[in-house]
Structure 1
Amino acid sequence: MLNNPIPENEMERIISLADYDLDYTSFQDSFKDLAKLAAKVAGTEISLINLIDSFTQWTITSHGLDIDQMPREDSVCQYTIAGNNDHFEVQDLKADDRFKDKFYVTDKPNLRYYYGIPLTTNEGHNLGALCMLDKDLKTLSPEKIELLKIIVDEIVNRLNVHRLITCLKTKLHEANETKMKVAHDIRGPLGGIIGLAQVISEQGHENKIEEVLEFINLIQRSGRSLLELADEILTADKPQRDLKTDEFNLIVFKDKLEKLYTPQAMNKKIAFTVSTSVNLSTIPFSKNKLLQITGNLISNAMKFTPISGKVTVVLSLKIEETQNLLQINVTDTGVGLSLQAVETILSGKAQSTDGTSGEQGYGFGLALVKHLVDSLKGTMHIYSNPGNGANFEIVLPQVQA
């Protein structure tokens, strides 16, 4: 069995990809023109824009081939992102031992030629690749390759714009939250000042202290003005019922996970279900890093669950006095984990092993989950025994809407 190629900076690479906080299903329109242009420039039937996480190659836009995802270990692009070269070319997939038995070579579309260019960030992280594919053998001229590199630069630029917009929305959301908190915080003291001024004012009427009364009346008027301003801020910033672009609710989150990971379950003949708590299913919460965290847990669970097994995801939201708690449970009927393995994962130092169907691992998926959960000030628990499956429980604090 051939070993999977792994970039030297793999942990940093997948953290960088997670920082883009991408929904892999929402970019068809954003990059469709570039995928088509790349195929036209290269003279190939097919071009794909792929992003590669710990377990999966996600095709965010395609031209000439209807594909959404494939296991990372089956992809050619895993070689494109593994090295420091500016491209990876396979003249004949059918003659290459690494790829000759892959489904896309032996069956339709019976691919023969591959040319891939990594999507590299300014920090040197290869997020994925633009690849050109054909069922006939090809040769690309230097002029065509230079044009393809320009297209790659534009893909990375658009990804960076998306990240920038997401970051600005997050900062705006945080600023609004701060404004709300300030408004809440000043209402209490101001109410006390006005109440105290009212008492002194009443005593002043009895004592006929005109100057004191005039001063206190000024305090009252100023205090009431500030209190009205705080009420105005609170009223204007009440969140809308419609979801914002940086929010999920349990229904939307459930649908996303089913769409992204049902194909993986069907491919391995595993039963996959996602359920939610119905009574709180429409309350919004931040979607920040949720697909990256939950997706890695699901892919990991499927990797270690045998054929005819089950992977179950339960999503719930708990309303508390000062915050909401989003709880994610991913449970499988797989091989289970030893106490030592659990402790290794929770320490953020998980290593990869082969899956139940021989899937080779890359060793960073659960380490990334632990990193992201910690960055969101959440908690991660693992309940498992060897041979009895595993339950990964994530709890993430959420600001109340």
Structure 2
Amino acid sequence: MISPETPKNEIERLKSLRQLNIMNSLPEQAYDTITELASYICKTPIAVVNMVDEEENWFKSKYGTDLTGSPRDVSFCGHTILNPDRILEVPDTTVDERFKGNPFVTGENAIKYYAGVPLLDTQGLPLGTLCVYDSKVHQLDEKQRTALKSLGKQVEMLLESRRQNYLLEQMKIELNENNRILREFASTVSHDLKMPLANMILTADILKVKYSNILDKEGMDYISYLKQSGLTLSDYINGLLDHYSNNKAETGNVEEFFLNDLLEDIIDLLQIAENCEINLPDNNLKIFGNSAAIGQIFMNLISNSLKYNSREKIIIEIDCTENREFFNFKISDNGIGIPLEKQEKIFDLFTTVAEKDRQGKKGHGIGLSTVKKIVESLGGTIQISSIENEGTVFEFSIKRNEIID
């Protein structure tokens, strides 16, 4: 007997095998079907999908045997992976120098025939074999050899699919953990900054009142600038807190309300100027849902339509429809519009379109990202269509909380 040598690319081969996370995994029907078919086609009582680890062979799938693997130093498959570009077929193991004297050849239920196809990854590294065994001398014909190779390719596809799924799952776990850390960081920092900012804004107001008769216009402007900077940063922080606290909008209070009543309350809060015309839907929908979450969506979208509009006359149109599953809403304006190349990423966090809004302030790119999160948490979708210098249309849906009979 001759024990199999170690391949020159053993380190890379084992690394690829580890990435599969397949050793000692549970049986899977997809592999078991292939070993059963290999046994039938090759007319052998035993067929195995075998993974060759550092010191052992482990059977991912087996047909016709109760064994779960073997030590690598007495394995047949250890020899097979040394020549990954071809089948290893041994018609009579008792006369082959590599296998005569092998405990699997000389022992009870001795193996006299072996054929194995190397299983390669996408880099050509051999990870294991699809092999068949017989207790008597045997030999495959050309069609059987071709079929065994084809079945080996099917196993390779299963292994690669497993690899990709495992890598995606690991990436998902890592991404979720990174998002959790980011949410905690943003929330902690934002809360820690709110009080100092409030003190800074209040102090600016006190300075303005107490020293207005002492400071010149330039000094008063500096104080006003200090307060405005504090307010801007406060808005930014509040936006971050809103963004990271709206993961569970669907669990908020669900109540029955009329859409136009909600919209009128929002318009009152926004203190709409005389040069702005907001047309509410003709059909005043009765909605059973989370009014606070829906209100926040409309508040943000209407506010954007007001801020990013350079027309003398601002016009905002709001429309709504309903079907068995969704409430559908549309908000259109005659504002500055959004360039086509920016529309795809407009809902990404910290993405802004215009340098400054109508009042000369720069946006933070948080609002629309938060809107998208709320819409999706309510079971809906949101999309945008816009023409630069002509206007923008936002359309979004909210899944109904009740089913129409």
After superposition, the C-alpha distances for 1:320-353 in whole angstroms (9 at most, x for unaligned) are xxxxxxxxxxxxxxxxxxxxxxxxxxxxxxxxxx
Deviation of 1:233 after TM superposition, in Å, equals: 5.6
SS of 1:39's partner is helix
After superposition, the C-alpha distances for 1:123-162 in whole angstroms (9 at most, x for unaligned) are 2211111111111222211111111111100101110000
Deviation of 1:98 after TM superposition, in Å, equals: 3.1
- Greater Cα offset, 212-221 or 111-120: 212-221
Deviation of 1:178 after TM superposition, in Å, equals: 2.3
Distance 1:98 1:214 in 2: 84
Q: Is the 8 A contact 1:93 1:99 kept in 2?
A: yes
Flag the 1:215–1:81 CA change in 2: closer, same or farther, 3 A: closer
What runs of 5+ residues in structure 1 fail to find an aligned partner? 237-401
Q: What letter corresponds to residue 225 of structure 1 in structure 2? A: G
Q: Is the 8 A contact 1:180 1:234 kept in 2?
A: no
Partner of 2:157 in structure 1?
A: 157
Q: Quick check: which has more Rg, 1 or 2?
A: 2
Count of residues in correspondence between the two structures? 236
Deviation of 1:26 after TM superposition, in Å, equals: 2.0
SS of 1:139's partner is coil
Q: Map 1:339-378 to 2 at 5 A.
A: none
Q: Which has the higher contact order (CA 8 A, sep 6+)?
A: 1
SS of 1:58's partner is strand
Flag the 1:31–1:221 CA change in 2: closer, same or farther, 3 A: same
Distance 2:195 2:160 in 1: 52
Deviation of 1:206 after TM superposition, in Å, equals: 4.6
SS of 1:13's partner is helix
Deviation of 1:113 after TM superposition, in Å, equals: 1.0
Distance 1:3 1:23 in 2: 22
What runs of 5+ residues in structure 2 fail to find an aligned partner? 210-222, 251-405
Q: Is the 8 A contact 1:36 1:47 kept in 2?
A: yes
Q: What letter corresponds to residue 142 of structure 2 in structure 1? A: P
SS of 1:149's partner is helix
After superposition, the C-alpha distances for 1:234-271 in whole angstroms (9 at most, x for unaligned) are 999xxxxxxxxxxxxxxxxxxxxxxxxxxxxxxxxxxx
SS of 1:153's partner is helix
Distance 2:101 2:248 in 1: 62
Partner of 2:297 in structure 1?
A: none
Distance 1:214 1:80 in 2: 75
1:74 equivalent to 2:74? Answer yes
Q: Is the 8 A contact 1:183 1:234 kept in 2?
A: no
Deviation of 1:91 after TM superposition, in Å, equals: 0.9
Partner of 1:226 in structure 2?
A: 240
Partner of 1:179 in structure 2?
A: 179
Distance 1:111 1:193 in 2: 75
SS of 1:82's partner is coil
Distance 2:80 2:248 in 1: 52
Distance 2:129 2:164 in 1: 21
Q: Map 1:303-314 to 2 at 5 A.
A: none
Distance 2:29 2:18 in 1: 21
Deviation of 1:76 after TM superposition, in Å, equals: 0.8
Q: Is the 8 A contact 1:49 1:59 kept in 2?
A: yes
1:131 equivalent to 2:131? Answer yes
Distance 1:156 1:215 in 2: 60
Distance 2:113 2:249 in 1: 60
SS of 2:50's partner is strand
Partner of 1:65 in structure 2?
A: 65
Distance 2:127 2:64 in 1: 22
Q: Is the 8 A contact 2:3 2:73 kept in 1?
A: no
Partner of 2:168 in structure 1?
A: 168
After superposition, the C-alpha distances for 1:4-31 in whole angstroms (9 at most, x for unaligned) are 3232322222222122232333244341
Q: What letter corresponds to residue 74 of structure 2 in structure 1? A: D
Deviation of 1:3 after TM superposition, in Å, equals: 4.5
- Greater Cα offset, 105-114 or 183-192: 183-192
Partner of 2:147 in structure 1?
A: 147
Distance 1:175 1:96 in 2: 53
Q: What is the RMSD computed on CA atoms of the aligned residues?
A: 2.9
Deviation of 1:179 after TM superposition, in Å, equals: 1.8
SS of 1:12's partner is helix
TM-score computed with the length of structure 2 as normaliser: 0.52
Deviation of 1:60 after TM superposition, in Å, equals: 0.8
Q: Map 1:328-339 to 2 at 5 A.
A: none
After superposition, the C-alpha distances for 1:83-137 in whole angstroms (9 at most, x for unaligned) are 2441111111223343233333333322211111111223221111111111122
Partner of 1:107 in structure 2?
A: 107
Deviation of 1:199 after TM superposition, in Å, equals: 1.1
Partner of 1:307 in structure 2?
A: none
Deviation of 1:216 after TM superposition, in Å, equals: 5.2
Q: What letter corresponds to residue 9 of structure 1 in structure 2? A: N
1:7 equivalent to 2:30? Answer no
Q: Is the 8 A contact 1:187 1:227 kept in 2?
A: yes
SS of 1:133's partner is strand
1:197 equivalent to 2:211? Answer no
